[in-house]
Structure 1
Amino acid sequence: MKEKPTSPIKKPISYALAIFIWSIAIVLFILLIKSFNNNGVIADDKELFDNFSQYEGEIYLSHQYKLPDADIATFRAISDKREDNHIALDKNHVYCGNQILPDLDPQKTVALGNNYYSDGNATYYCQSNTIDEDNRVWWQVIWEEIQFQFFDVPKTQTEFYPFSKLSKSNTPYHAIPNLHNTIITDEHFVYYQGNVMKDANWQTLTEVKEQTEDGSHRQSYFYFTDGEHVYYKNQLLPLKYNEQLYSFNPNTTRFRKEYLFNPMNGMVYMEDRALEQQNAPYTLLSRYAGHAYHALFLSKNGIYFYNARGEHIESLGDNIFTNLAVLEHNENQIERLGDNIFYNQNYTEIAPLVFSNGTKTLFIDAYETWSSGSARRGGGRLASITTSINELDGDLKGEWIKLGEINSGTIWQNGERYFYFDEYGESQGFRHTIYEFKNKQIAENTLHNKDSGLSPSQLIHRLEDNDEIKLAEYNTIAIAKAKTVLYRPIFPYLFALIIVCGIAANFYRLRKKKKSKEQRKN
């Protein structure tokens, strides 16, 4: 059989395609290595002060980002205070990070405090923490990284110090005495982080009291009042101030959220958002957060929480295996976890996050899942966080007797069974709220050896290793679950895809070439 002649065009094209694929693979491989070894930081620059450095006649912020038109000879810090370490001046400009603040005279500009800066004519707020403004798509990230690594194009800046210009005033701006936050006034308007607090009276403005986990009070960092109005940061809330108002932030384990409670009508605000008024009055289930990722609010109509990452809730009924409902939601939603199982049941919080009514014992617990599929920090990235309401198993209808305290929790007796209630939480290495001792002797020994020199987690974990204590058996009644956004770096996946495509293309070319030779022999 006569072999069909190969097109003189196809062969060069196949070679060119293979060369192109392998060239891209090599470039991405080099880019990947360089990006790990060089993230834009200039290693041999000269430190100037705070966040600024000098390299080859140029001034840089955070060893990476060039300041436009900076004059080295007159470049200086605006003050020696830590809150101003992102502000600098030269003979021409005032800089907020590496951004020029327009209309400021550097010869007259001074720090007013609370991150405000003025030359007597123009006044600016420049936040001391950066914000991320990276809106690039994946191919832009790759192309800009190639330009930076190979062609000496400046690294793309995605983090900035936000700033805003205040209204021009004939009255000098000044900080308000006894306020510890980023607030300033010209005695006509009040600004929080450069934003106007509508109708605020600067002469009477103060912080709302904040209730801490132990029940004591301090001043809130985020809620303010002038005796009439109430504000979250600069946002005016739709309520009138009363002396009973207080703020709290029980979600310190994973996501810190600020809440405001009005005992006059039982309304709750999460930052500047109100929980639904038709479900009021609300009560906070527990002010403790050691084993909780969500603050749970009780109403006669149900249990509610603010789902900050809010992709879904899982609500369990009587049968945990057959009655599982998964509800999809948008971000930042106030969610109903389920019926209020505490309503009219006379539950008392006998220990942080542990509740008993003499018949049943409920407790709150929290756990994480990771992208590798393992719970805890065994690898991968955080995939979700969960707060669960659970009921202890077994015959626990007797009275709970507190035997004593160790510096991480308390030891309890119920009938012939002995338990450890943890108060330290996830951040201290305790994975669960309630553990059960193997017998009375071990519980008493633990109480007597609380000053053994071991840390609380070491003490409990040693008991676990010796099978002297175990996780208490329980049934899960309801869970609130929030999925997190997983970031997966594009370079390894793209590189692997190109390598696979390159290998496949070469195998196909070699196989075709071999087949062609066999046909010629025949």
Structure 2
Amino acid sequence: MSKIKITGIALGLLVLIYLFPQFTKPTLSKEERLAQFSPPGLVTDYFDRTGVALVKNESDHFQKLNNQIYYFFPIPLARYGVPIPEANVNSFKTLAQHFHWKDAFDQDQNRRKNIALDKNNVYCGFQKIPNLSPSRLIYLGGGYLTDHQNTYFCDWNFNASSDSIDPTRSEKIDAILFGTKIAKSGYHYPLYQLKNGKNNYKLILENIVTNGESTYVEGKQLKSTDPYNLRYLTSFQPHEKIWQVDSYITDQRHVFYKHEVLDLNYNITLETIPFNFKVYLYDPLSDRYFYQSHKIDYPNLKIIKKDDNHTFFPIFTSNDQIAFFNTQKLQLEVLNKNPFISELHRFSPSVFSNGKHIYFFRKYQTFSSTLFMFFSELCSTTSEIRVLNNMPFSQWKKEEDLFIHHPPDKGIPIKGSFWTYGDRLFYLPEYGSWTESLFEVTQSATIDQLRQNQLSYTQAEELFKDTRIFKTVKGKTFSKIKDVQRFCFKDILS
């Protein structure tokens, strides 16, 4: 039997194994599931653009349609508008209109675009906020609203209520075979009411309010006995790709992630580590790491790459093993034997040597591969550790660093370093190459100009695209981390 037939049979069996539970598990029909959460008057026609936006520069969230106010959720390639039956059309205005704010690209702007009011009520998306007076309304910042009688937090991240019920069998099959998005309904913004107290609430830190008795982070109560002594552990720089409000908080006694308290006492040696839009914490006193509020309780654990841009997870060593922390399963998973027990030399944040071999990192994403692809969705992310055998560290020589400032329309600079190994030239990017961390370079007069920082950002960017000059170093696979987001045929084949 040919390899192709064997592969086809194996693929068919895998698909049947995956689909069998979907056929045997009882589910509501698509219409029944969506009907449970679809409000009256819902507008879902993507091509219907008859509404008039109240404020154009606020993404057309609030619109007037058929003499009624609608809230349209910012969902890509979809139109999901919910009417606000209680809204008074003549007095209705967004929060920015009410306070006469100018459009500004600040973080808080995104956190208030779903808030509006009229002469009778205040609204969080399409929801009327109960017992909140529009005439006495005060915006505290960060999504917090008060009239000094009642205080609320209107979240800026919307949820779909239909996620609480499994989609139908046919929807799952269509998603697998045709890439069709599973229909959702019941979109809303979580709304939280804060406890009343003797004193008024005020914003004491970005995202945090207190009245001295109760303290809240993103609308959830933070159990601190000293709220006015709260602070964020670290002020992050923009290039670290994480907002300060996604970091850890301390009142000088306890440490919190969001509203959750961590299993450690505050000390000045704590180190916050942002990584790929997630946040970790290291406590040197207990020699333990934390992922958000979860304690990674393993001894002798060391992170070898805090500022790497070429994996989706930080890589740890633990005695004789190399590992990563699975953020979905919340457990440490071993990848291979630790190659750095005797020596560890760092070329760049993504390239290392143990004296004898070179280890480097790369990452990539796999998007939906279906019979008919209507939408491209993320299937999985893959992080790899690769190795170049028998290239001693002693024979490598760093030649120069490269740094080219980014223009206003680009987010990151071009940053890296050139190294030689014998008569071979290598480039190790830190910023500017999202996937690869090691290239072999064909030397030329243009490369000499690049090495002397004589090229503009645009010229350098174009040069890096030339795969005849910058050749990806493949090496051999040492370890691989595959994080599956959804079923795709490519996930079976890769």
TM-score range, shorter chain: 0.7 to 0.9
Match of residue 362 from structure 2: 365
Match of residue 71 from structure 2: 61
Distance 1:214 1:45, change over 3 A: closer
Shift of 1:445: 6.1
Shift of 1:59: 0.7
Distance 1:41 1:98, change over 3 A: farther
Give the letter for the 1:71 counterpart.
Answer: N
Whether contact under 8 Å (1:418, 1:440) holds in the other structure is no
* Alignment of 1:250 onto 2:275: yes
Q: Distance in 2 between matches of 1:141 and 1:284?
A: 44
Distance 1:461 1:267, change over 3 A: same
Distance 1:70 1:209, change over 3 A: same
Whether contact under 8 Å (2:303, 2:314) holds in the other structure is yes
Distance 1:105 1:273, change over 3 A: same
Structure 1 segment 135-214 matched on structure 2, within 5 A: 135=163, 137-138=166-167, 157-176=185-204, 179-180=205-206, 182-209=207-234
Shift of 1:46: 2.4
Partner SS, residue 398 of structure 1: helix
Q: Distance in 2 between matches of 1:213 and 1:71?
A: 42
Match of residue 472 from structure 1: 473
Whether contact under 8 Å (2:355, 2:393) holds in the other structure is yes
Q: Distance in 1 between matches of 2:127 and 2:244?
A: 34
Distance 1:117 1:211, change over 3 A: closer
Match of residue 390 from structure 1: 386
Distance 1:189 1:432, change over 3 A: same
Whether contact under 8 Å (1:355, 1:361) holds in the other structure is yes
Whether contact under 8 Å (2:320, 2:341) holds in the other structure is no
* Alignment of 1:424 onto 2:424: no
Give the letter for the 1:406 counterpart.
Answer: L
Partner SS, residue 451 of structure 2: helix
Match of residue 31 from structure 1: none
Structure 2: segments with no counterpart, 5+ residues: 1-42, 73-79, 102-108, 172-182, 404-413, 490-494
Structure 1 segment 27-426 matched on structure 2, within 5 A: 39-40=45-46, 42-49=48-55, 50=58, 51-62=61-72, 64-78=81-95, 79-81=99-101, 82=109, 83-135=111-163, 137-138=166-167, 157-176=185-204, 179-180=205-206, 182-209=207-234, 221-251=246-276, 256-275=277-296, 277=297, 279-300=298-319, 302-308=321-327, 331-372=328-369, 380-393=376-389, 395-396=391-392, 398-407=394-403, 408=414, 409-424=416-431, 426=433
Q: Distance in 2 between matches of 1:477 and 1:442?
A: 34
Give the letter for the 2:355 counterpart.
Answer: G
- CA deviation digits over 1:104-132, x for unaligned, max 9? 23332322222111222221111123233
Q: Distance in 1 between matches of 2:265 and 2:482?
A: 34
Whether contact under 8 Å (1:393, 1:473) holds in the other structure is no
Q: Distance in 2 between matches of 1:405 and 1:478?
A: 29
Give the letter for the 1:286 counterpart.
Answer: K
- CA deviation digits over 1:384-409, x for unaligned, max 9? 21111221145445332111133332
TM-score by length of 1: 0.68
Whether contact under 8 Å (2:246, 2:279) holds in the other structure is no
TM-score by length of 2: 0.72
Match of residue 433 from structure 1: 437
Q: Distance in 2 between matches of 1:392 and 1:267?
A: 32
Whether contact under 8 Å (2:379, 2:488) holds in the other structure is no
Partner SS, residue 148 of structure 2: coil
Whether contact under 8 Å (2:363, 2:381) holds in the other structure is yes
Distance 1:134 1:222, change over 3 A: farther
Q: Distance in 2 between matches of 1:339 and 1:437?
A: 30
Shift of 1:291: 1.2
Shift of 1:74: 2.7
Match of residue 311 from structure 1: none
Q: Distance in 2 between matches of 1:229 and 1:273?
A: 15
Q: Comparing both chains, which one has the higher relative contact order based on Cα–Cα distances under 8 Å and sequence gaps of 6 or more?
A: 1
Residue identity over aligned pairs, in percent, reads 25
Match of residue 3 from structure 2: none
Which stretch of the first structure deviates more once superposed, 440-449 or 80-89?
440-449
Partner SS, residue 224 of structure 2: coil
Whether contact under 8 Å (1:388, 1:478) holds in the other structure is yes
Distance 1:270 1:41, change over 3 A: farther
Shift of 1:268: 0.9
Q: Distance in 2 between matches of 1:38 and 1:199?
A: 44
Distance 1:304 1:453, change over 3 A: closer
Whether contact under 8 Å (1:288, 1:352) holds in the other structure is yes
Q: Paired residues, what number?
A: 399
Q: Distance in 1 between matches of 2:69 and 2:54?
A: 9
Q: Distance in 1 between matches of 2:119 and 2:444?
A: 76
Q: Distance in 2 between matches of 1:257 and 1:103?
A: 37
Shift of 1:212: 5.9
Shift of 1:290: 2.0
Whether contact under 8 Å (1:398, 1:415) holds in the other structure is no
Partner SS, residue 169 of structure 1: coil
Shift of 1:89: 2.0
Match of residue 458 from structure 1: 462
Highest CA radius of gyration, 1 or 2?
A: 1
Distance 1:240 1:358, change over 3 A: same
Shift of 1:281: 3.3
CA RMSD of aligned residues (A): 3.3
1:447 to 446, 451, 458: 451
Structure 1: segments with no counterpart, 5+ residues: 1-36, 143-154, 309-330, 489-522
Which stretch of the first structure deviates more once superposed, 361-370 or 290-299?
361-370
Partner SS, residue 383 of structure 1: strand
- CA deviation digits over 1:119-173, x for unaligned, max 9? 222211111232333335555999xxxxxxxxxxxx9843211111111212111
Q: Distance in 2 between matches of 1:140 and 1:200?
A: 50
Distance 1:453 1:108, change over 3 A: closer
Give the letter for the 1:268 counterpart.
Answer: Y
Shift of 1:269: 0.8
Whether contact under 8 Å (2:158, 2:190) holds in the other structure is yes
Partner SS, residue 413 of structure 1: strand
- CA deviation digits over 1:260-306, x for unaligned, max 9? 1112222111111111x2x2232221122321111112221533323
Match of residue 483 from structure 1: 484
